[in-house]
């Protein structure tokens, strides 16, 4: 626009919204103007809120929580900082937490709520591991008081919008994690503990392995897949609750393809931060097992799942067809990360 025309344009817009103009044009014209303005604002907010959150540095986040005092960055503080960072991203990203929104534009959005559910799944797994594995020295040891609060708080209904709201319950979980972080790095002996042992890490990775395997399968269903029943393969005495067909055809409905994609993108985003934190907290254990490079490779594979999406929609072309298939590309990255986690678990056990 020509700079000379800018004042005239501003004057026209101001005149358009002047109450005197409304009286001249009438009620229906005024209502139409407000409706048009409302739709434009809602559309802009929907575009802004639909952007996936950026990654954050878990080490820098831990330093912030420690007030810049690096002497407080003891074993476990990075993992706790990662859990806090994931939770606060869910609550504080543009638009806030959207899965329980009942008003526009949040109620019309589905990609980010699915992203949130994927990230929330990993946050729940991490908190469960912190409560049951990382903070306990053995099976008979007492649970950490704050992690005992945090873990069920994040397991609260992800779509509750009132009495109590999901956000209020998750904030209580974040507050408990803050208290745990402070107790890890204070001067009181035995006040808070985090045990970086190979068996603890293997238990956590076993859960991540199953999550990634499930997501890879669901993503592959975007193009349809004929799958043989191998539930009881390898064990002649195995039984199951009810018979299943020898071959099943699985295909994700067209309207659900982007939902699965963004759930996988959210889960891998959160898992990426968790593993980056565990890489630091478990570095001596990983180095002793010659597994440091293996975990770095897993992190690199997960970083590929966060590459920018240049298409306005999730494409679902056939495997070798002229159009791309975003679900199969995501499944490829996830499958490679999953296979690397299996190798890492074996290395931690036998290395």
Question: How far from chain centre, in Å, is Cα 324?
Answer: 24
Omega before 164 within 30 of 0, i.e. cis: yes
Per-residue pLDDT at 310 exceeds 90: no
Is residue 317 over pLDDT 80? no
pLDDT at 263: 96
Check residue 6 and give its pLDDT: 59
Per-residue pLDDT tens for 49-70? 888 899 999 999 999 999 988 8
For 155-182, how does the pLDDT look when each residue is reduced to its tens digit (9 = 90+)? 999 999 888 999 999 999 999 999 999 9
27 band by pLDDT with thresholds 50, 70 and 90: low
pLDDT at site 108: 80
Specify the pTM: 0.88
pLDDT in tens, 256-284: 889 999 999 999 999 999 999 999 999 99
> What pLDDT is stored for residue 325 in this prediction?
87
């Amino acid at each position: 626009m020509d700079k000379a025309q800018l004042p005239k344009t501003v004057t026209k817009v101001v005149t358009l919204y002047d109450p005197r103009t409304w009286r001249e044009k009438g009620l229906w014209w005024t209502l139409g103007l407000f409706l048009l303005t409302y739709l434009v604002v809602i559309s802009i907010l929907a575009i802004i809120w639909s952007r996936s959150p950026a990654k954050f540095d878990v080490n820098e986040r831990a330093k912030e929580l420690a007030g810049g005092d690096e002497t407080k960055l003891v074993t476990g503080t990075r993992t706790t900082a990662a859990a806090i960072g994931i939770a606060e991203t869910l609550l504080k990203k543009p638009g806030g937490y959207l899965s329980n929104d009942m008003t526009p534009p949040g109620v019309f959005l589905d990609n980010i709520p699915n992203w949130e559910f994927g990230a929330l799944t990993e946050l729940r797994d991490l908190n469960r591991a912190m409560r049951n594995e990382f903070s306990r020295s053995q099976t008979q040891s007492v649970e950490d008081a704050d992690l005992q609060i945090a873990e069920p708080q994040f397991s609260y209904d992800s779509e509750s919008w009132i009495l109590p709201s999901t956000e209020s319950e998750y904030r209580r979980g974040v507050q408990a994690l803050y208290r745990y972080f402070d107790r890890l790095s204070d001067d009181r002996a035995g006040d808070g503990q985090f045990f970086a042992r190979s068996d603890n890490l293997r238990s956590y990775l076993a859960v991540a392995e199953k999550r990634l395997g499930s997501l890879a399968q669901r993503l592959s269903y975007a193009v349809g897949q004929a799958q043989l029943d191998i539930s009881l393969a390898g064990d002649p005495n195995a039984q199951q609750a009810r018979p299943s067909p020898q071959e099943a055809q699985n295909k994700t409905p067209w309207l659900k393809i982007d939902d699965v994609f963004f759930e996988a993108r959210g889960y891998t985003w959160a898992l990426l931060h968790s593993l980056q934190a565990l890489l630091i907290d478990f570095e001596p254990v990983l180095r002793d097992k010659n597994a440091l490079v293996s975990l770095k490779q897993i992190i690199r594979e997960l970083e590929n799942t966060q590459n920018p999406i240049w298409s306005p929609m999730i494409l679902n072309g056939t495997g070798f067809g002229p159009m791309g298939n975003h679900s199969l590309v995501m499944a490829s990255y996830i499958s490679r990360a999953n296979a690397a986690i299996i190798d890492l678990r074996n290395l931690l056990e036998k290395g």
